[in-house]
Structure 1
Amino acid sequence: MFPVTASLCSTLLFVGVFVFVSADKKTITAESGQNVTLPCRATNNNILAVEWSRANLGDEYVLLYRDGRCEPDDQHPSFKNRVDLQDRQMKDGDVSLILENVTINDTGTYECRVKTGNNRRKRTNLSGEPISIINLSVVVPPGGPVGLIVGLSVSAVLLVVAVVGFLIYRKCKQQQSQDSYQPPVEL
């Protein structure tokens, strides 16, 4: 009986691990201000709907694409006019998401779900396990806002020094020309 139990446990462990890693998981790091593509590919080309979501958005989603168009209802406001599918034709099952002008607030775990088949019944949320899970980390570029402020400050100081230097030079030239002026000798 022990070998059967061990075999069954091994099989369950294998199935559990297979189910756990079945979703495509990736980590992507991007700099603030960049456009980012979050990859997702469905195995079935008969795609009826695509949903990109993030757990911390509650009932709102990142993008819902259904019936050949993006659905704006219940889309989180921070993603409006900033997201789209990489290929709206979804050739070869490509349902990757393009996220434009990322910010630190876009950091999080994104999930891609796809509804396939012939069932045309409309549903707001696609059920089932995600086929892709992306951990997006958005960082401030090296020298980001602080570097820009420092760079502009240094430029401003150099400009002031140049202007003050020019004014001092001009004043000295005027002084020299007044000191060297000799009135004409009268006869």
Structure 2
Amino acid sequence: MTLMAFSCLLILSLGSVSGDVVRVKPGDDVVLPCQAGEASIRAAEWSRPDLEPPETVLFYRDGHTDPALQHSLFKGRVQLVDRELKDGNVSLLLKNVSSNDAGTYECRVATGGSRRKRAIIENKPIRIIQLEVSGSNSGDVEEGNQINKNPTEGNYRIYYGSVAGFVLVCLVIVIIVVWKYRRPRESLVI
């Protein structure tokens, strides 16, 4: 019973690590994590519903990004972290963040099934992230320009830390299930 209580506490505490708010400083690059959990992703879309149409940040289909409906604010500044969408990873890399990038980002995917020509995915978002941009960049200053030597290092740590936490929780659950069903049962002697 104590192990089960510990597992539940661990799950609750790790859930707050991968929260839906991402904070970044101007000039940094940031990864907005999104995990679909599907091996057969046909298309992926990141959007910002708080923008004037077009609200598309990135649309990915047939192995390529489609800039046709992309909002001008994001042209040349966004890409998927894993263009092959391995293991359902549809995380977005946003480069050189500015205060204009603050807002709500929604991640959607289309999986399996029949192919449509529509460019917008109408499914509900699988991840919604609030991006907050504040403060100043703590990089080196040279002739009035800020230079950040490794802008994504901290954001990758948060993302991979969240993934590691999720794997740890799954491992604990598997151990509990195996322990519960493998322990010898006392037989009743009548």
Q: TM-score range by the shorter chain?
A: 0.5 to 0.7
Q: Note closer, same or farther for the CA distance 1:30–1:143 as it changes in structure 2 (3 Å cut).
A: closer
Alpha carbons 2:45, 2:108 under 8 Å: kept:
yes
1:140 is matched with which residue: 115, 135, 139? 135
TM-score normalised by L of structure 2: 0.61
**Alpha-carbon distance between aligned partners in 2 of 1:70 and 1:30, rounded to the nearest angstrom:** 25
Report the residue type matching 2:32 in the other structure.
Answer: L
Query: Deviation per CA, 1:49-85, whole angstroms, max 9, x where unpaired?
Result: 0000001224320000011100010100010000000
Secondary structure at 1:73 match in 2: helix
> What 5-or-longer segments of structure 2 have no aligned partner?
1-17, 145-190
Q: Higher helix proportion, which one?
A: 1
Residue matched to 1:125: 120
Post-superposition offset of 1:101? 0.2
Contact 2:37 2:89 in 1 (8 A): no
Q: Which amino acid aligns with 2:35?
A: R
**What residue is the counterpart of 2:67 in the other structure?**
72
Runs of 4+ in structure 1 deviating by more than 4 angstroms, as ranges, are: none
Matched, 1:116 2:111: yes
Larger Cα-atom Rg: 1
Following the alignment from structure 1 to structure 2, what is the Cα–Cα distance between the partners of residues 143 and 31? Answer: 8
Aligned to 1:86: 81
Q: CA deviation at 1:140?
A: 3.0
Q: Partner residue of 2:102? A: 107
Cα RMSD of the aligned pairs, angstroms, is: 1.9
Q: Which 5+ residue runs of structure 1 have no aligned equivalent?
A: 1-23, 150-187
Same amino acid, percent of matched pairs? 49
Q: TM-score, normalised by structure 1?
A: 0.62
